[in-house]
Amino acid sequence: MRTRPAGRLESERGTTLVNVALVLVTLMGLAAYAVDRGIVWISRGQAQNAADAGALAGAVARAYEDPDTSRGLAQQSALLTAQSNEVWGQPAVADVSWTCPTGVTGLCARVDVYRNGEFSSTGLPVIFAPVLGISTQGVKATATAVVRYGNATNCMRPWSLPDRWDEHSDPPNEEFNHWDSQGGNAVELDPHDVYTPYTGWSLADYLGAELVLKTGTNPNSNAVDVKTGWSFPVRLPDGEGGYASGASDYENAIKHCIGAPVAFDDYLPLEFGEMVGPTNQGVEREVDSLINQDPDAMYVGSPTPHIEGGCVPGCGPFSPRIVPISVFDVEKFNKSMADGDWSYCPDSNKCIQVKQILGFFIERMNGNTDVVGRLMQAPGFFQAGAPGPPAGAEWLIDIQLVR
């Protein structure tokens, strides 16, 4: 029997150990990529979520409560919202600023979130990466939101009030007079009141102003006139091509968002009754009425008009008692009343045309018919194809992430 030389046997000792070591290094490298890089990717998404949420919250606060950031509410809102999000098991470390990105103008809120050792944050854990010579890793995210303005809402309430006009009729009164009916035809009066659409409600003059929505008139009466302070009950889109109608739908539309868009220049049919009972129930009488949804909220006029003491931020970024209401074209309505032509309306019955959308903070009912509140800015969005809000009358706020 032949045997191998002893030297050759000794030269092959340990080869398995070397091969195992090489495989382990490769496996550790793959583990570092899979595990450590996985930590980075997950944390990056969490950090971006925190930055996005903080920026949106800061912009909302700037829009409704703290436009110049002097009260610190916008800073607090952005910071606390960002910190409420965790980045790999730890509250986000955030920095808030108000600089807009290049090419963006308006009220901005920027939030930078750190989990990389900067800004007193800690880095992310490193498990397998040291085998590749990597001892630290981290993430940073940034987001900027800007306050922009809308011309539409998904949460319209079923009230519409007359737009403002210039009084020129003789004698002057609180009723819009441009057209009179003679033999079933519309005849222009001379002198007559003058109406310019989209321009009647400026923020400078009316933000925080008390408004009384006088209800209790039947808008489908043949003798209804356009008077200052009176509001009409309207039917809102049902999202299926029709319009909700009747006491139950009307009450529900006061309490909740209908979810169907209403924009400038849209037509809304008038209700078929006074809707006194449903108005009272939807505003304050029922358990789920608007006032009972946020009973502690109150209007504060200084230093800027805003709402305090309510359910915000637990129930959302703004009080559910701030609702959008429409303003209608008084001349179009006056002329149609004079000549009886409602053919342009969705169902050929009486309707109004929306020319502005205001925010309205509901304070109380005055008796059984009048809804008392304050004019405020409200959430909205911009719908392409509809007119934009006039300068100085941007009542609907649209918060957008721009970075």
The DSSP line for 320-382 is TTEEEEEEE-HHHHHHHHHH---TTSTTSS-EEEEEEEEEEEEEEEETTTEEEEEEE-EE-B-
Confidence at residue 261, expressed as pLDDT on a 0 to 100 scale: 96
pLDDT band at 158 (very low <50, low <70, confident <90, very high): very high
Mean pLDDT for the stretch of residues 236-254: 93
The answer to whether residue 220 scores a pLDDT higher than 70 is no
The answer to whether residue 171 scores a pLDDT higher than 90 is no
The answer to whether residue 130 scores a pLDDT higher than 80 is no
Highest mean pLDDT among 178-182, 195-199, 219-223, 293-297: 293-297
pLDDT band at 229 (very low <50, low <70, confident <90, very high): confident
Confidence at residue 37, expressed as pLDDT on a 0 to 100 scale: 81
The answer to whether residue 7 scores a pLDDT higher than 60 is no
Report d(CA 23, CA 27) in Å as an integer: 6
Report d(CA 330, CA 197) in Å as an integer: 9
The answer to whether residue 244 scores a pLDDT higher than 60 is yes
pLDDT band at 236 (very low <50, low <70, confident <90, very high): very high
pLDDT band at 170 (very low <50, low <70, confident <90, very high): low
Confidence at residue 264, expressed as pLDDT on a 0 to 100 scale: 96
Mean pLDDT for the stretch of residues 11-35: 62
Confidence at residue 215, expressed as pLDDT on a 0 to 100 scale: 76
Rounded to 5 degrees, what are φ and ψ at 74?
Answer: -65, -40
Please count the other Cβ atoms lying within 10 Å of the Cβ belonging to residue 233. 25
CA atoms 323, 363, 231, 63: torsion sign: negative
Confidence at residue 31, expressed as pLDDT on a 0 to 100 scale: 60
pLDDT band at 273 (very low <50, low <70, confident <90, very high): confident
* CB 116 within 8 Å of CB 43: no
Among the residue ranges 253-257, 273-277, 310-314, the one predicted with the least confidence is: 310-314
Q: What is the pLDDT of residues 285-336, one digit of tens each?
A: 999 999 999 999 999 998 888 888 888 877 877 899 999 999 999 999 999 9
- Residue written as token pair 């403002």: 164
pTM: 0.78
Report d(CA 201, CA 358) in Å as an integer: 8
Confidence at residue 34, expressed as pLDDT on a 0 to 100 scale: 65
Domain boundaries along the sequence of the chain:
15-149, 152-393
The answer to whether residue 133 scores a pLDDT higher than 80 is no
Q: Residue 207 to residues 58, 64, 246: CA-CA distances in angstroms?
A: 21, 11, 32
Higher-scoring residue by pLDDT: 84, 315: 84
Higher-scoring residue by pLDDT: 82, 132: 82
Q: What is the pLDDT of residues 32-83, one digit of tens each?
A: 656 778 888 999 999 999 999 999 999 988 888 788 888 888 999 999 999 9
Average pLDDT, the chain: 88
Confidence at residue 23, expressed as pLDDT on a 0 to 100 scale: 61
- Residue written as token pair 């400026």: 202
Mean pLDDT for the stretch of residues 211-226: 73
> How many residues are present in the chain?
403
